[in-house]
Chains A and B, each alone.
Chain A
């Protein structure tokens, strides 16, 4: 049933196509995407995506903002896992500054990034369930996403657009309540995830619906510059965390799950397994947590404590410089990439030595792999196209920058 239909056989020259506008605000596309579909009955003959509906000129905005003030922009790229974007941006600036980050701060970063990876995968996988008609898994597993957001809230005060941490590390030690929340989450989430797996992973209806739906070969995935779970589902074991370890990822022992056929089911299963691996990484990080400071020695980017601002001249100067954003950075250009929720998130930064970047480019994974979508949905049914899109984890905020 899910075999691709050979268009040349079913369509003759005289055939008339109907045009269907899928989006921009369609409840099944989970974001502002428009696809003008040329339909032959219920089979898609051609898809033309239009993007840019929520373009906010981030790259231009970043050219006027001091480095610390660019972090809120990165929040709004992939807003399902904004801490990963924050950390990626901090690491880019730290690479430019040549800063050495204490191990303790790096381990904390790993915990935050893996928590947000779990939150990102919860959203994507449960929404695949919703698009197949399985609402239950979505309703049950979303409470765990809420628990993760409570942890973020305890650390930084925000839930979705986090702006978590600082350039150089963290502003302060995490409090006891944060650790309690994390420990409770680590204890209880495996039960929730197992329950979710039991609902979908070997569910006959779900498997019939997703296996061989929107597949992509490894060669095509590479030529379209796929990264992240989508590339791994096609069978390429490329993960930035292993290939170019950052933030002490080399200290942890974890597996990279890979799929085989690159279809919706494989993408789903790769994300499921990644959540288990993320849990294991968090546990290792807590177990191995070293002592030491939470922030690198970067007074230009670390707000001094308030009592020092009132009583100490240097602290007052640094406070003023940070608030006004008057800190110069070295000249240079760096590219730094992290493994985001949906692929390799890269920051290409050119600095001319001033208070703001000369040019900042975000390598947004879903902008690059979404262009394969017309080819992936060619010749399949409309309802499978919806499923293919939700399993690709395309986030409108990241797509349109």
Chain B
């Protein structure tokens, strides 16, 4: 795994030295954090490069950072012939959550990006049909953001501090 991390890191550094925020090994996955304005170029490079050949988009999802000031998009890429898997992350400020779409590289990104938009409100520039997918169209919040707690916060019959919550 360390070998894969070094190989990909070297190749990425040749082209996108300024855009790589971090490269680390988390459990069995090499993880790269990329600046959000360069993510599309990096994905294109990783997909089309013959040696790296990350041709398969395993997963695309979103997250919010614990400080609640940034939103992130997480890509899981897979090179099936060599069985190499990597994870890419990119973060953007919550006031302007915009990132380039990956639908032109993988049609599979279409619904995954719609789902990410649906739950986090991340706008994918250039997406052909960016609207809600699992929630109803009239919804005006992005429910997986941390500012929307799961339980009704106006309940008075329950003292959360008693349960360590």
B144: chain A residues within 8 A (beta carbon): 59-60
A52 pairs with B83, CB closer than 8 A:
no
> Quick one: which of B46-91 are within 8 Å of A by CB?
55-59, 61, 63-64, 66, 74, 76, 80, 83, 85, 87
Tell me the complex Cα distance, A236–B83, Å.
13
A205 near B: Cβ within 8 Å?
no
A335 near B: Cβ within 8 Å?
yes
B108 near A: Cβ within 8 Å?
yes
A61: chain B residues within 8 A (beta carbon): 150
A63: chain B residues within 8 A (beta carbon): 150
Tell me the complex Cα distance, A314–B130, Å.
54
B80: chain A residues within 8 A (beta carbon): 222, 236, 238, 243
Across chains A and B, which 4 residue pairs bring their CB atoms closest together, nearest first? A225-B108, A52-B134, A55-B134, A361-B61
Residues of A whose CB lies within 8 Å of any CB of B are: 51-52, 55, 57, 59-61, 63-64, 95-96, 222-225, 236, 238, 243-244, 324, 326, 332-335, 337, 344, 346, 348, 350, 352, 355, 358-359, 361, 363, 367-372, 400-401
CB distance from B150 to the nearest CB of A (A): 5
B26 pairs with A363, CB closer than 8 A:
no
1/0 contact trace for B133-161 toward A, CB 8 Å? 11110000001100000110000000000
A367 pairs with B74, CB closer than 8 A:
no
**Residue with the greatest number of chain B CB neighbours at <10 A, chosen from A334, A344, A359, A369:** A359
Tell me the complex Cα distance, A348–B112, Å.
14
Q: Contacts A60-B150, A64-B150 known; list 12 others, CB within 8 Å.
A: A52-B135, A222-B56, A222-B80, A224-B108, A324-B163, A333-B31, A334-B28, A335-B59, A335-B76, A361-B61, A363-B58, A368-B108
B58 pairs with A346, CB closer than 8 A:
yes
Tell me the complex Cα distance, A334–B31, Å.
11
A224: chain B residues within 8 A (beta carbon): 106-108
Among A222, A344, A368, A401, contact of B134 (Cβ-Cβ < 8 Å):
A401
> Quick one: which of B90-123 are within 8 Å of A by CB?
106-108, 110-112, 115, 119
A367 pairs with B111, CB closer than 8 A:
yes
> Quick one: which of B18-53 are within 8 Å of A by CB?
26-29, 31
What are 24 A-B residue pairs whose CB atoms fall within 8 Å in the complex? A51-B134, A52-B133, A57-B143, A61-B150, A95-B28, A222-B56, A224-B106, A224-B107, A225-B56, A225-B106, A333-B26, A334-B26, A334-B28, A335-B59, A337-B58, A346-B58, A346-B59, A359-B63, A361-B59, A361-B74, A368-B108, A368-B111, A372-B107, A401-B134
Among B55, B74, B85, contact of A222 (Cβ-Cβ < 8 Å):
B55
**Residue with the greatest number of chain A CB neighbours at <10 A, chosen from B59, B80, B150:** B59
A51: chain B residues within 8 A (beta carbon): 133-134
Tell me the complex Cα distance, A352–B146, Å.
14
Among A326, A333, A334, contact of B164 (Cβ-Cβ < 8 Å):
A326
B85: chain A residues within 8 A (beta carbon): 335
Tell me the complex Cα distance, A323–B80, Å.
42
B58 pairs with A244, CB closer than 8 A:
no
Among B29, B57, B151, contact of A335 (Cβ-Cβ < 8 Å):
B29
A348 pairs with B83, CB closer than 8 A:
no
CB distance from B116 to the nearest CB of A (A): 10
CB distance from B32 to the nearest CB of A (A): 13
Contacts A59-B119, A335-B29, A355-B164 hold; do A223 and B61 have CB atoms under 8 A apart? Answer: no
CB distance from B127 to the nearest CB of A (A): 13
A225 pairs with B150, CB closer than 8 A:
no
A225 pairs with B134, CB closer than 8 A:
no
B66 pairs with A348, CB closer than 8 A:
no
Tell me the complex Cα distance, A350–B146, Å.
14
A64 pairs with B151, CB closer than 8 A:
yes
A324: chain B residues within 8 A (beta carbon): 163
Q: Which A residue's beta carbon lies closest to that of B136?
A: A52
CB distance from B148 to the nearest CB of A (A): 8
Q: Which B residue's beta carbon lies closest to that of A354?
A: B164
Tell me the complex Cα distance, A59–B143, Å.
10
Tell me the complex Cα distance, A326–B151, Å.
19
